[in-house]
Amino acid sequence: MANIVQFENVGLRYGGGAETLSDVSFTLSSGAFYFLTGASGAGKTSLLKLLYLAQRPTRGGIRMFGEDAVTLPRARIPGFRRRIGVVFQDFRLVPHLSAYDNIALPLRVSGVAESDIDAPVREMLAWVGLDQRIEAKPPTLSGGEQQRVAIARAVIGRPEILVADEPTGNVDPDMAERLLHLFDSLNRLGTTVVVATHDFHLLGRIPDARMMRLDKGRLLDPTGSLRFPPTGEGA
Ligand SMILES: Nc1ncnc2c1ncn2[C@@H]1O[C@H](COP(=O)(O)OP(=O)(O)OP(=O)(O)O)[C@@H](O)[C@H]1O
Ligand SMILES: [Mg+2]
């Protein structure tokens, strides 16, 4: 499989303190499924921010879609980001838009015709179990419902890369399983998936998933090629 992302000795420092990420090197193979684990504060969200170009590294190299992502001109960042679906740890839904319109947003931004939007949006709403809450606005939804809207919005455009930060942190185990199945289906269609999670229960669910483990800002398996033992919890 070709590499879709390549990090080389990446470091990230916020302000003047110690590095939050140090010497992070890995490649993501196009079409593979990755879990990113590590204790709270280990740097998972920070690494994902580099992946979806919300943050530039302080040092090191990042290549993405065959191009240098560090020196990418600012004007080209939106074009790159349209190829990446993101489920934010804090959802970031548009509060005054309905669940339906939040999910439709990426299609509208990409210029999809209005007549081609309704069917996929309704399909996604059904997938995440929110077909009864189509008109609800995010502030009136529960945390788990908001999370599901955020997931539907991230996957609806069939991104080349899906980055999900604790995407099952607010839902019950049955829904977590269902959402993981959705990611798996998307992965089978060719999307490269990166899921940051604390939930060890999820890790064994995707037998081919590769593990990336962060410890205090350093990656323990630099190639990200270790397979998770299907029975153990030894990640
Ligand atoms: N914008 C920021 N400015 C300064 N420090 C930050 C910023 N964002 C994160 N940090 C620090 O970087 C470290 C890593 O944070 P990060 O959010 O990446 O961890 P995480 O692994 O996602 O944790 P969690 O599991 O709790 O979500 C933490 O010490 C955090 O305080
Ligand atoms: Mg985080």
Residue whose Cα lies nearest atom 29 of ligand 1: it is 41
- According to DSSP, the residues that pair with 176 across neighbouring strands are none
The per-residue pLDDT string of the chain (235 residues; one tens digit each, 9 = 90 and over) reads 699 999 999 999 999 889 999 999 999 999 999 999 999 999 999 999 999 999 999 999 999 999 999 999 999 999 999 999 999 999 999 999 999 999 999 999 989 999 999 999 999 999 999 999 999 999 999 999 999 999 999 999 999 999 999 999 888 988 899 889 989 999 998 999 999 998 888 888 898 999 999 999 999 975 544 444 444 444 3
Say how far apart CA 95 and CA 140 lie, in whole Å. Answer: 9
Distance CA 161, CA 186 (A): 10
- Cα 32 from Cα 122, distance rounded (Å): 27
Which ligand lies nearest to the CA atom of residue 19 in the structure? Answer: 1
- The rounded Å distance from CA 50 to ligand 1 centre is 13
d(CA 130, CA 145): 7
Q: What share of the chain is helix, strand, coil (3-state, %, to 5)?
A: 30, 25, 45
Q: How far is the CA of 71 from the centre of ligand 2 (A)?
A: 26
Instruction: Count the residues in the chain.
Output: 235
For residue 165, the CA-to-ligand 2 centroid distance in Å is 7
48: CA distance to ligand 2 center in Å? 9
Dihedral sign computed on CA atoms, order 16, 22, 26, 28: negative
Pocket test for ligand 1, best of 12, 20, 168 (most atoms within 8 A of CB): 20
CA 226 to CA 235: how far, in whole Å? 10
- Ligand 1 contact via 45 beta carbon (within 6 Å): yes
Rounded to two decimals, the pTM is 0.91
Q: Which ligand neighbours the alpha carbon of 17 most closely?
A: 1
CA dist 15 and 215 (Å) reads 21
Q: How far is the CA of 43 from the centre of ligand 1 (A)?
A: 6
Look at residue 233 in the predicted model and tell me its pLDDT. 40
